[in-house]
């Protein structure tokens, strides 16, 4: 029995539309753009500003220590200097269950919440932030658990084993197809029944103005909801675009050729191998005592391996299931295309930042070769190619976007694309996915990312990106180093703007914590 299920892409899209009452008559007649918002903090005209970025954070205490809280303490040291926090997804592990929000989100970030001095009194669907907290959906925020799991939890060998461990946090309810995330962060209009109440709500909170019409006004300490699962806002002359990559990450079908059949057999063989590997890890775990500090450290390392195995399994299953062309969220991708073109034609906008969950470029061991990684890369490239064609000479030598932030990979990484031959060339990408869930190792193949550009046998490859910084799990046994991370970004005046990235690290070594800031870099 599978412990995790994932809704199909059409279900994700439709459910989220229902929750925000997408294009409801009252919304259309009021001239409201449901994908835009403004941050009303009285400071957003300043060209010099700073913000924080975290991701893959949503875990509780592990064997007596709390990595997410350690990262939150780092963030607090910079809170007064920063205007907002971007979250790159996976707010709650393992399946986005609402019962984990108090321990895995509200408690760790209590100082960022109104009434945070009494975090137990804050309901997950009534949070108000004193510093804007701007998330995107991660895959775990959409995950669910099968009904049979809820009914017979504990009756299978795998569950009996896993329930022994203190950090087992699969959740009893699942995300309900992303509903828990939506109630926590979105302006959940589906909860308003009467038409006159809906209109009153719109008149009260959608008072912002953009070229596209009215939009939601995000007021720290008063009303802190985002308008949609993907959205945009402008701050200090920079356009920010928040995307839901869970709806355009489906792998393309395997080719119906001999080479495709051979690759399918390789995937099936790999699936069997990792099943055996998983059983071996569980057998070792059975012999360890989580109350013993040394055993607990080893269990944490084994649990990280189980996490990685699960990610590989999901990716393989998606590839094996891809017999037909995948459902792609064309509506969102075309929205991004049109908004980027509009941004480039707006004279007061001096830069553009994207943030979404699945990284198009990464060297973390389990993510760099995933079919989902390649799918996101190719679909983002498709968008940027159209933008470039539309803009022509307006772009000159600048990349279409100035910076991309992602999560999903449990590390902190700075990657810069080279000349890919496409419109995603020379873009700095920051993976900020090391803010709480177990850090992972970098792949052994090196820091240069190569890509094969055709499906033909023996097709040539060429370099498309370089990894310039990687902060993740390294060392073994008692020398294992577990660096958890977030980043501070300082935006400087000018066009194009300068971005100074400052990695902030809380590292656990031999049951001790060390906090430090790595050397900042201009990207």
Q: Write out the DSSP string of 356-396.
A: -SS-SS--BTTTTT-HHHHHHHHHHHHHHHHHHHHHGGGST
User: Measured between alpha carbons, how far is 499 from 462 in angstroms, rounded to an integer?
Assistant: 28
- Asked if pLDDT for residue 149 goes beyond 80, the answer is no
Tell me if residue 1 falls in helix, strand or coil. Answer: coil
pLDDT tens figures, 127-146: 999 999 999 999 999 998 76
Average confidence (pLDDT) over 229-236:
98
Q: Residue 115 corresponds to which tokens in the numbers above?
A: 């009434």
Give the mean model confidence (pLDDT) for residues 228-242.
Answer: 98
Burial of 323 (0-12, 13-18, 19+ CB in 10 A): exposed
- Interval 212-241 mean pLDDT: 97
Q: Which residue's structure tokens are 């902190």?
A: 412
pLDDT confidence of residue 409 = 96
pLDDT confidence tier of residue 160, bands split at 50, 70 and 90:
very low
Residue 157 has pLDDT above 70, yes or no: no
Q: Please give the CATH superfamily to which domain 9-31+52-252+322-522 belongs.
A: Metallo-dependent phosphatases (3.60.21.10)
* Over residues 115-135, mean pLDDT: 98
Q: Which residue has the higher pLDDT, 476 or 350?
A: 350
What pLDDT is recorded for position 313? 80
Q: Which residue has the tokens 């975290």?
A: 54
Quote the CA–CA distance of 174 and 4 in Å, as a whole number: 9
The whole-number pLDDT of residue 3 equals 62
The yes-or-no verdict on residue 45 having pLDDT over 80 is yes
**Residues pairing with 513 in the sheet:** 508
Q: Percent of the chain at pLDDT above 90?
A: 68
Distance of CA 208 to CAs 141, 226, 233, 307, Å?
Answer: 28, 13, 11, 42
E-only strand ranges, 158-229: 208-210, 213-218
CA 152 to chain centre: 31
At 21, the pLDDT band (50, 70, 90 cuts) reads very high
Contact 88, 356 (CB under 8 A): yes
Is 420 in a helix, a strand, or coil? Answer: coil
Cα radius of gyration (the chain): 22
Residue 61 CB partners (closer than 8 Å, separation 6+)? 69, 167
Crossing angle of helices 330-344 and 371-391, in 10° steps, is 40
Residue 186: pLDDT over 70:
yes
Which stretch, 41-45, 329-333, 371-375, has highest mean pLDDT? 329-333
Q: What is the mean pLDDT of residues 112-124?
A: 97
Distance CA 175, CA 210 (A): 33
Structure tokens at 311: 């990610």
Model confidence pLDDT, tens digit, residues 473-513: 998 877 889 999 999 999 999 999 999 999 999 999 988 99
Q: What is the pLDDT of residue 518?
A: 96
The pLDDT value recorded for residue 96 is: 93
Nearest to 199, CA basis, from 59, 29, 368:
29
Q: To the nearest whole number, what is the mean pLDDT of the chain?
A: 89
Average pLDDT over residues 303-320: 77
The model's pLDDT over 51-100, given as tens digits with 9 standing for 90+, comes to 999 999 998 876 678 999 999 999 999 999 999 999 999 999 988 999 99
Residues 416-446 pLDDT 10s: 999 999 999 999 999 999 999 989 999 999 8
pLDDT of amino acid 14 = 98
- Residue range 121-132: mean pLDDT, rounded: 98
């Amino acid at each position: 029995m599978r412990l995790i299920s994932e809704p199909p892409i059409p279900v994700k899209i439709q459910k989220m539309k229902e929750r925000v009452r997408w294009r409801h008559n009252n919304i259309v007649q009021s001239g409201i753009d449901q994908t835009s918002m403004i941050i009303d903090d009285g400071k957003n005209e300043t060209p010099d500003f700073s913000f924080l970025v975290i991701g893959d954070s949503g875990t509780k205490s592990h064997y007596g220590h709390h990595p997410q809280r350690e990262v939150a303490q780092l963030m607090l040291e910079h809170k007064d200097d920063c205007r907002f926090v971007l979250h790159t997804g996976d707010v709650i592990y393992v399946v986005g269950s609402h019962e984990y929000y108090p321990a895995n989100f509200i408690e760790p970030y209590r100082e960022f919440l109104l009434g945070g001095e009494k975090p137990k009194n804050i309901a997950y669907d009534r949070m108000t932030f004193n510093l804007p907290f701007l998330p995107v959906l991660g895959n775990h925020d959409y995950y669910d658990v099968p009904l049979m799991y809820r009914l017979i939890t504990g009756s299978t060998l795998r569950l009996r084993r896993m329930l022994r461990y203190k950090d087992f946090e699969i959740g009893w309810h699942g995300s309900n197809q992303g509903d828990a995330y939506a109630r926590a962060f979105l302006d959940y209009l589906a909860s308003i029944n009467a038409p006159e109440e809906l209109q009153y709500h719109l008149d009260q909170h959608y008072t912002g103005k953009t070229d596209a019409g009215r939009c939601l006004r995000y007021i720290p300490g008063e009303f802190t909801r985002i308008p949609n699962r993907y959205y945009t806002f402008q701050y200090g002359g920079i356009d920010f675009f928040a995307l839901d990559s869970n709806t355009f990450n489906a792998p393309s079908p395997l080719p119906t050729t001999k080479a495709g059949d051979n690759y399918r057999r390789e995937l099936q063989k790999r699936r069997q191998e990792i099943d055996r590997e998983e059983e071996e890890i569980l057998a070792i775990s059975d012999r360890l005592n989580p109350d013993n500090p040394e055993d607990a450290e080893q269990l944490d390392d084994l649990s990280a391996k189980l996490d990685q195995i699960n990610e590989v399994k999901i990716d393989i299953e998606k590839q094996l299931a891809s017999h037909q062309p995948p459902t792609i969220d064309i509506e969102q991708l075309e929205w991004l295309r049109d908004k980027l073109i509009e941004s480039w034609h707006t004279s007061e906008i001096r830069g553009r930042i994207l943030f979404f969950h699945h990284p198009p470029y990464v060297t973390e061991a389990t993510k760099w070769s995933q079919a989902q990684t390649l799918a996101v890369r190719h679909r983002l490239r498709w968008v940027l190619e159209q933008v470039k064609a539309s803009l022509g000479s307006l772009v000159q030598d600048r990349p279409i976007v100035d910076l991309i932030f992602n999560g999903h990979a449990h590390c902190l990484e700075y990657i810069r694309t080279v000349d890919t031959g496409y419109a995603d060339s020379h873009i700095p990408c920051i993976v900020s996915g090391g803010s709480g869930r177990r850090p992972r190792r970098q792949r052994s193949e090196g820091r240069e990312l190569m890509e094969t550009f055709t499906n033909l046998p023996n097709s040539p490859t060429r370099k498309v990106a370089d990894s310039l910084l990687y902060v993740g799990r390294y060392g073994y046994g008692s020398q294992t180093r577990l660096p958890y991370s977030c980043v501070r970004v300082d935006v400087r005046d000018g066009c194009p703007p300068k971005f100074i990235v400052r990695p902030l690290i809380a590292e656990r070594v031999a049951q001790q914590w060390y906090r430090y800031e790595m050397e900042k870099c201009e990207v």
